[in-house]
Amino acid sequence: MANDALGLTPARPGDGGGQRVGADRLASVLARPARFKRSHPVVLLRLGADGDDPRTQRWRIGRRWADPTDLRAPRWAVAVDDDLVTAVYRIEGWDPTGAPTDPATRYTLRGEPDPELEKRYRGRSVAAYRGAGAQPPVTYVWCGPHWVNRPR
């Protein structure tokens, strides 16, 4: 299988070495990487195919991460579409959508856009933080033990 000058592989396995790649994948590969500072503990929220506002979706957030008073909890939520940052929100809190005792409780995000961090990170790639393979809808960066959160 041939790679083109950008090092892209074919869009689908079995394309026979063709070099066609979707525009969204190309934008993700060409984007500058996001380098989150340690002082910016964030949670990456992978948006669905419809790209809705992350404040209207239900997220499976760990109870300790949903407590804004916990020092290890994320302070910003980063909306991600195809490994590209689309928006950054300052987290005001998380509202449970199910029974509080239910371990699978999902939460909705409460927060407002953060223009300063959005200017810094919007359009950047978070592929290094998310890794290869199946993409989890929620990824924590610089929350909790820092050795877990280093980009690859």
Looking at residue 147, its pLDDT comes to 44
Residue numbers of the chain with a pLDDT score lower than 50: 1-3, 10-12, 15, 147-148, 152
Give the separation between CA 106 and CA 80, rounded to whole angstroms: 19
First to last CA, the chain: 25
Tokens of 64: 């300790």
Q: Whole-angstrom Cα distance, residue 141 to residue 152?
A: 12
- How many whole angstroms from its chain centre is CA 3? 27
Quickly tell me which residue has 């929350």 as its tokens. 143
Distance, CA of 20 to CA of 12 (rounded, Å) = 9
pLDDT at 1: 43
pLDDT at 31: 72
Per-residue confidence (pLDDT) for residue 2, from 0 to 100: 46
